[in-house]
Chain A
Amino acid sequence: MDIFTVALLLSTLRLATPVALIALGETFSERAGIINVGVEGTATLGALVVALISFYTRSPWLALFAALVAGGLAGALHALWCIRWRANHVVSGIGINILVGGLAMFITGAVWGWRGTSPSAPTLNPWIIVIAGFVIICVAQVYLFRTRWGLRLRVVGEKPEAADTAGVNVHLTQYFYTILNGVLCGLAGAFFFNNLGRFTFGMVGGRGFIGIAAMVIGNYSPLGGLGAALLFGFVDALQMRLQAHIPNQFSIMLPYLLTVVVLAAFIRRANVPAALGRHYVKQ
């Protein structure tokens, strides 16, 4: 079949990368016990900031760095709410999504006069982020399961009391990995921008939430999340080609349908961290 081409492979990688990065970030924070459904908004914020900085400084590298910082700040905000002020994790995450939505409209309107869209700005080759993403995910896999810091992280999410007794600073660990989650979402946002050359509100298009699903399907492991993201990316790339053969109303649905079906199959087998969503209070 002429459908299975190199172009399909490249398309799959482009579509999978942001999902895989967000899945990795969420893996880190949920392994530390912090749910963050604000990843969608955090990635949008990353894409907005990278566009803003790239537009003004004409330096895509500086813009990339700024996106990571912005993502980290959004992560820090979430961490403050969830850890310091013991807010419901999901509510805080939804708050971030709504906040970024308003912010994106306001900033694009105030800066460029178009609500929700930026003009073009200098970009990096998006493949740099694709390759970097794959390297980061492989390193993370080793880090999480083969190093003592990875072990400490896992213990914090499973049994924070035990980690505390063993001398691990539970809250510091949670802050660190929630911020890291934000940084990775910022990187995913930067990919969206560099892939297109401009910011538009809606360009993340639900890929943050798909990233959370990919993390669950991948059973809270970096490589598993990557696998699930690749599957999603592949089906999304495939459906574009299938539109020539089957009604588009059905093909557009395929990647999402697949996500729901696979998620339903895997969610019972997932090793959900035992202390996920709990507020740890030191006795």
Chain B
Amino acid sequence: MRKLLVLLAVMVFATAMAVAHPKIGLILATGGLGDLSFNDQGFKGAMDAATVIAEQYGVTPQAVLDYVEPTSIAEYEGFQLQFADSGDYDVIICIGFDQASALETVAPQYPEQRFVIVDMVVIGDNIASVITNDWESAFLCGVTAGMMTETRRIGFLGGMEIPLIVRFLQGYTQGALWANPDMSEADVVARYVGDWANPTLGAELSREMYNAGVDIIYGAAGKSHLGVFAAAEENPNWWALGTDVDQALTAPEHADVIIASGLKRVDLAVEAEILQVVDGTWEPGIRSYGIATEFGFGTGIAIGPEDINEYVRASASEVEVPCSVIVKLAEAARGIADGSIEIIID
């Protein structure tokens, strides 16, 4: 009998030891790994955090991080339920705004389970919503465009005129005017595709802007933005700026026209969320990441051949950028961080 009890105790102890390290559940967006964008960044952030945890507990990162790649929006709810129901995970990270409606159904059923959703706001006592100050990246892109334009006219391609995208435009415009006092708001031309996945129209609108005297186009139009790069290739004086990730890296064939890309550092935000869970400081609510936030990171720009600081990062772009632009960008980022530059958004 005593032997049995000892055996039992050993087994319980062993089991307790095995589950003692924190575990992370990651549900990627439908684009899946390899998109060189949102999913890869979210995965990198989770993996970085898992590596830190794994070192502390002497296990492998793979033991800490479980992830799934849903292939359609309909699968989100199933994976969220499966992860939450297992009770194994200290936090479940949901990448992408389209997981929101599934999360609204699942999260209230598991009040003890912590959830993080990236790029969307879902209110709940067990949910943290991670968003980024996109207008800061847009401001830095505006600074670049304002300094590099030779026609003193720059363009912006939006997917649809919704608040999220209008804030990109506001940041971009203010950045350009800040860096180039000769420009006025009328020198920033904005066009909208009305579609997030139609690069054919995106290219057509870009040609229209370029023909109207614009020489650099930035934008926030999802896949429609690919049309800007295709159009920019048609004339040696036409240039483009990328969005969210270093698009000179994700679309290498256009590295000769992409001067720089605004950055959305999903990786840093996800890593920060997980580490907050591990050290016990995590709280539900809405958390903004960006230069002018309590975290001090989350946005930036990819430009030039090397990392300058946390915000001005290296890019795979083949376009030569004058040093003065880089210096000005560093100054702009500093200004945003210390509050001397205030970006006014609706």
Contact = CB atoms under 8 A, between A and B. Distances in A.
Interface of A: 5, 7, 11, 14-15, 105, 109, 113-117, 119-120, 192, 195-198, 200-205, 236-237, 240-241, 243-244, 248-249, 252
Interface stretch (B15-23, B134-142, B223-231, B280-288): B223-231
B32 A5 contact: no
Contacts of A252: 192-194
Contacts of A198: 199, 226, 230
Contacts of B193: 252
Contact of B205 (A116, A196, A240): A240
Contacts of B203: 195-196
B198 interface: yes
Contacts of B204: 11, 14-15, 236-237, 240
B207 interface: yes
Contact of A202 (B195, B208, B230): B195
Contacts of B30: 115
A243 B192 contact: yes
Contact of B194 (A7, A105, A202, A248): A248
A36 B191 CA distance: 34
Interface string B241-253: 0000000000101
Contact of A197 (B35, B161, B198, B230): B230
Nearest to A202: B197
B191 A109 contact: no
A104 B201 CA distance: 20
Contacts of B207: 7, 11
A15 B204 CA distance: 8
B337 interface: no
A117 B253 CA distance: 14
Contact of B34 (A5, A114, A205): A114
A73 to B, nearest CB: 24
Nearest to A197: B230
B173 to A, nearest CB: 15
Interface centre among B31, B197, B207, B208 (most CB of A within 10 A): B208
A13 B71 CA distance: 37
B189 interface: yes
